């Protein structure tokens, strides 16, 4: 192998090592001062089911999924789970609810007991921002 061919193989290997893994997308940057938060309920609240949950975000705009707009995204409600990995789109399952139509509130049926809720604001692809925009987790009790 010539020195030039060896250099090309080494550069290609380096480029591949720095490329995103299959299935990974490049996260969009978000404003440093953006905040994701619960308007209601508040941490420590005792509530009845169904539970009305109101989402809040500052320094970003709420927009439907699938519509790329700079500085915008939509809410995801994480119930009784940790936030999913930030390098792939958020899953849609019983622990991660999507509000891709731009909704800012919902009503969820939760069984009696203690529940942890957290919000994640993601881009038009359901991909977390860089860095991820998460609310503080809250714990509520359903009576």
pLDDT class for 25, splitting at 50, 70, 90?
confident
CA distance to 22, 77, 113, 122, per residue, from 134 (Å):
25, 10, 24, 9
CB 131 within 8 A of CB 35: no
Domain boundaries, the chain: 3-142
> Does the domain at residues 3-142 carry the CATH identifier 3.40.50?
no
143 close to 46: Cβ distance less than 8 angstroms: yes
Closest CA to 102 of 128, 121, 78, 81: 121
Q: How far is CA 64 from the centre of its chain?
A: 14
pLDDT, position 23: 54
pLDDT confidence tier of residue 29, bands split at 50, 70 and 90: very high
pLDDT, one tens digit per residue, over 57-111 is 999 999 999 989 999 999 999 999 999 998 889 999 999 999 999 999 999 999 9
């Amino acid at each position: 192998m010539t020195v030039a061919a060896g250099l090309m193989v080494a550069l290609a290997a380096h480029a591949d090592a720095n490329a995103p893994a299959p299935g990974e997308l490049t996260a969009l940057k978000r404003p440093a001062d953006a905040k994701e938060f619960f308007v209601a309920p508040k941490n420590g609240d005792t509530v009845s089911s169904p539970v009305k949950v109101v989402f809040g975000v500052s320094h970003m705009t709420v927009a439907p999924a699938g519509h790329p707009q700079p500085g915008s995204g939509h809410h995801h409600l994480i119930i009784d789970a940790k936030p999913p990995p930030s390098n792939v789109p958020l899953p849609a399952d019983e622990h991660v609810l999507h509000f891709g139509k731009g909704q800012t509130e919902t009503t969820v049926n939760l069984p009696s007991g203690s529940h942890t809720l957290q919000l994640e604001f993601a881009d038009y692809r359901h991909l977390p921002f860089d860095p991820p925009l998460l609310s503080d987790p809250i714990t509520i009790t359903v009576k």
